[in-house]
Every structure is written in structure tokens, then in C-alpha cells.
Amino acid sequence: MHVVHSRGDKVFRGIVTAGALTSLVILGLIGSFLFARGAQVFSQYGLKFITGTNWSSSMEEGIPSEFGMGPMLVGTIIVSAIALLFAVPMSIAGALYIEFYATGRVRKMLSGLLDLAAAIPSLIFGLWGIQIFTNFGQRWASFLGNRLGFVPIFNTISDNYGRSPFVAGCVLASMVVPITTSVAREVYSRTPRELIDTCYALGGSKWGAIKTVVLPFGKSGVVGGAMLGLGRALGETVAVYLVLNLNFRYTFRILESEGGNVASLIATRFGESSSEELTALVAAGFVLFLLTLSVNMVASAIVAKTTRS
């Protein structure tokens, strides 16, 4: 059967295609610019730039500079993982409550607040999270350090828990929760109603319907929302910059008062950097760009696989 498209359909298709191609072109231009500006650093330091532990810029002649962003890259992954560990369960619980347990008026109010919170700039969330979660996070970190100090990641020689990767992860979790909850709620709301009614007809409870129908149906949406939140956490600057003391040393102790991430490194060093260090910071930005792009590609693959299943 041959489908005849009207002129309006063709115009709309052209606009949508142009928008999609423009996004790809802009993304490619950003990546190309970062790579071209940082190519000198990659050729000079090679893999050592990613795995090295020393970042020193020399302003004097005869004293070589050295750039290695390994600890910041590891710190980015650790802080983001802590944020997801807290954010994903809270987001799933919040989305299920809003969609299946809240009354009509409460659901409408919470849905509006949730969509509004997802649009709040990360700077506002970062400052709010620091004021709120620093005290709470410090108590939790102190509890973990006292009770689980025999576990290597909770072992610490300092009691300054308020400036640790654990607290930074808690702050980032407050930024990840709104967008993840919003996406999860939207996906859960699209669960076929007849499947839920069938579960009720067979004598199942509301929790039984959620466990057997809603959660499997919305798995891809939760993964997609979590990856969107992870992308926000990977590039977050303000919260980590204000909470953590940058330290170029590999450490997996999440309660120590040290750490950092790539974004906070760029924000901290950009204003006073020399031309040579500026090139290294652009190269660090390219590595972060590749990391975020890889996360999004893996998320798309997971969502596609889950949807087919």
C-alpha cells in the first residue's frame, strides 16, 4: 500500500530531520574542537595524561609542567556512583508513590513540583544540597566510619566527614532524583491498564501488580532516567568544588576529606591557568566528553535491549 504524504507532512519531516542532524553536527563539532585543542597534550603525555597523579603548571622557564588527571577521573566515577546508589531507589519509590498510591490532588501537586524541580539549575540544587546534606551526610558518614571502619572503603584517618566524596555523592543525589523520578513516573504511567486489571482480577494486590507488571514494564525507563541523572552528575561542578578538597592521589576511601572530579578540576584551575595548562584542561574536558558520551551510548543500548525483551 503506497502512502501519499501531504506537503505539510513533508515539511514537518524535513524540519525534524534537520533538527536531528543539527544536533549531531553540533555534538561532532564540540568533540572535534576539544580534541583539536587538546591533541598536543595527548601526543606529549599519551596514556600518562589519563593515569598520571601529578598536575603541576610551571610558570618559570626550564621547569617542565606535568599533567595527569587520573585521580580526578576516578573521583568522578566514585562520586557519581554514590549519587546513583542513593538516587535510584528513592526515585523508584517516589515514582511508584505518585503514580499508584497518592490521591488525585496530591498526585497532581507532586507531579507539578517534580517537573519543576527537574528544571531547577544545578547551581541552586548544589548550594541547597550543601546546606542541607552536609550535616546529615556528616552524621551518616560518621556512623559508617565508626561501625564499618574495618571495610577498606569506609576506613579513614580523618574525622572531617563533611568534606568527603560520600557527602558530595549525597549532594549530587539530590540533583539526580528529580529527573530520574520524573522519567520513571512517566514510564510507569504508560503501563497498559488492562495488564494491571488482569492482575487484580486474578486476586493480586496492588503491590503484586506493581511487582509483576509495572516494574518489569518500566525497567527501560528507570535505566534511561538513571543514565540521564548520571550524565548530570558526571559534569557537575559546583557541588563537588564546594565540598571536596582537590587531591591528586588515588583513593577509594569515600569518607576521607579529599577527592575531586574532572569538572571541578577545570573550574578550579581555569581562571589562573597558563596557555599550556589551558590546553591540558581542554584535553581533560575532551576525556569527560567521551566518558559522558559512552555512558549515554551504553544507556541507549540497555534501554533498547530491555524494550525488545
Domain membership of residue 48 (yes or no) is no
Looking at residue 272, the DSSP 8-state letter turns out to be: T
Residue 145 has pLDDT above 80, yes or no: no
The C-alpha atoms of residue 209 and residue 33 are separated, in whole angstroms, by 50
Give residue-wise pLDDT tens across range 156-168: 777 667 778 888 8
The confidence band for 5, taking pLDDT boundaries of 50, 70 and 90, is low
Q: Which residues, 6 or more positions from 215, have their beta carbon under 8 angstroms from its beta carbon? A: none
Assess if residue 265 is contained within a domain.
Answer: yes
pLDDT band for position 226 (50/70/90)? confident
Coil, helix or strand for 22? helix
Q: Assess contact for 257 and 160: CB atoms under 8 A.
A: yes
Q: How far apart are CA 271 and CA 266, in angstroms?
A: 9
Q: pLDDT band for 303, please (50, 70, 90 cuts).
A: low
pLDDT of residue 306: 61
The amino acid at 290: L
Q: Show the domain range for 238.
A: 66-308
Judged against a pLDDT cut of 70, whether residue 2 lies above it is answered with no
d(CA 62, CA 66): 13
pLDDT beyond 60 at 246: yes
Q: Is residue 72 part of a domain?
A: yes
283 CB contacts (<8 Å, ≥6 apart)?
Answer: 34, 37, 38, 39, 41, 42, 49, 67
Instruction: Work out the mean pLDDT of the chain and round it to a whole number.
Output: 81
Mean pLDDT of 241-267: 79
Distance CA 174, CA 91 (A): 10
Of the pLDDT bands very low, low, confident and very high (cuts 50, 70, 90), residue 225 is confident
CA atoms 163, 168, 144, 137: torsion sign: positive
Total of domains in the chain: 1
Supply the pLDDT for residue 7.
Answer: 75
Give the CATH number of the domain where residue 239 resides. 1.10.3720.10
In a domain, 78, yes or no: yes
User: In this model, does residue 33 exceed pLDDT 80?
Assistant: yes
Q: Is the pLDDT of residue 3 over 70?
A: no
Output the pLDDT for position 308.
Answer: 60
Give the mean model confidence (pLDDT) for residues 99-114: 85
In a domain, 300, yes or no: yes
Are 88 and 226 within 8 A, CB to CB? yes
**Which three three-digit cell numbers place residue 146?**
565508626
pLDDT at 151: 80
Rounded Cα distance between 286 and 213, Å, is 41
- Indicate whether 128 belongs to any domain: yes
Residue 257's pLDDT is 76
pLDDT at 213: 86
Task: Check residue 164 and give its pLDDT.
Answer: 80
| Lowest-confidence pick of 55-64, 182-191, 201-210 | 55-64
* Measured distance CA(278)–CA(265) in Å, rounded: 12
- Domain-embedded: residue 40: no
92 closest CA partner among 270, 221, 238 = 221
Mean local confidence (pLDDT), 98-105: 86
pLDDT of residue 307: 60
pTM of the full structure:
0.83
247 found inside a domain: yes
pLDDT at 309 over 60: no
Q: What is the DSSP letter of 246?
A: B
Percentage of the chain modeled with pLDDT above 90: 2
**3 state SS for 80-119:** HHHHHHHHHHHHHHHHHHHHHHCCHHHHHHHHHHHHHHHC
